[in-house]
Amino acid sequence: MPMYSKASTVTFAAQARIVSLALSAACLMFVPGMAAAETLDLSLGSDSVSAALGGPLRSGRANAAYDLGFLYSDDRDVGLKQAHAGLLVTGDAGARNADVNAGLGVRAVAADFDGGSGGAIDLGGKVEIRVPNFNRLGLTAYGWYAPKIISFGDFDQNTEFGVMIDYEVIRDAALFVGYREIRFELDDAGEDKVDDSIIAGLRLEF
C-alpha cells in the first residue's frame, strides 16, 4: 500500500471535499427539479450491481436532464464503489432514417477501490438509436472522460464507456443487456481497469 505524507493527506482531503461538495450541490439542484417521466435503471453483472435515476429538469428547458447513480463492482477484485451526479442537454440528432437522440454534459464522480480513491469532473454524453418501424428495440452508447486537470485525489484520469441493447416489453418497461468498462489512471501507478462487465438489467419509466 502507498504511504502518504501529512501534506499529501491534507491535499487529498481538500480535493475529496471539492468532489463531495460538487456531488451534494448537484443533488440539491437536481432532486427538487424532478418532474414526470423519470427513468430508473437497475443492472447486474456477475460481480457488479448498479442503479441510476434520470429525468427532465423543471428548469424552463425541456431538453435539460439530470442523472444520478451508484455502482459497486468487484469484477477486477478491487471493490469499486462509485457515485455520480450529472447534467445533460439532450435532443434529436437529426438523423433521417432513424430516431436518434443524443446528449452532451458534465458529471461529478466520486470513487473508491483497493488501490486508490478520489474523484473527477467528467465530460461526455450518450446517444440512443431506434428504428422507426420497430422502435421497441434500441441501442444506447455512452462515454465519459476526465483528464488530469479535473481529476482529484489519487486519480490522474478517468474513463468510462458502455453500450446497451434494450427491448421495450411494454412502453414503460424495458429489458437490456450490454457492456461497461471503467478505468482510472493512478498517480505514479499507471492505468487501472477497475470494471469490465457484461451487464443485464431493467429500465422503468414512471
Please check whether residue 75 lies inside any domain of the structure.
Answer: yes
| Confidence band of 203 (pLDDT split at 50, 70, 90) | very high
What sign does the CA torsion over 159, 163, 169, 175 have? negative
Residue 35 lies in a domain: yes
Overall average pLDDT of the 76-96 stretch = 92
Q: Could you give the number of structural domains in the chain?
A: 1
Contact yes or no for 200/176 (Cβ under 8 A): yes
Q: Find the CATH number of the domain harbouring 147.
A: 2.40.160
Give the pLDDT confidence of 25-82 residue by residue, as tens digits.
Answer: 454 444 444 445 799 999 999 999 999 999 998 665 668 999 999 999 999 899 999 9
| pLDDT of res. 122 | 98
- Residue 2 has a pLDDT of 42
Grid cell listed for 98: 432513424
Q: Answer yes or no: is 194 within a domain.
A: yes
Asked if residue 95 is part of any domain, the answer here is yes
How far is residue 121's CA from residue 105's CA, in Å, rounded to a whole number?
A: 11
Encode pLDDT of 100-157 as tens digits. Answer: 999 999 999 999 999 899 999 999 999 999 988 888 999 999 999 999 999 999 999 9
What confidence score (pLDDT) does residue 33 get?
47
In a domain, 1, yes or no: no
Around Cβ 170, how many Cβ atoms within 10 Å?
8
- So what's the pLDDT on residue 53? 97
Please count the residues of the chain.
Answer: 206
Domain containing 188: what range?
Answer: 6-205
Query: Quick check: is 182 in a domain?
Result: yes
Q: What are phi and psi of 169, to 5 degrees?
A: -65, -45
Integer-rounded Cα Rg, in Å, for the chain is: 18
Model pLDDT, residue 98: 80
The answer as to whether 12 is a domain residue is yes
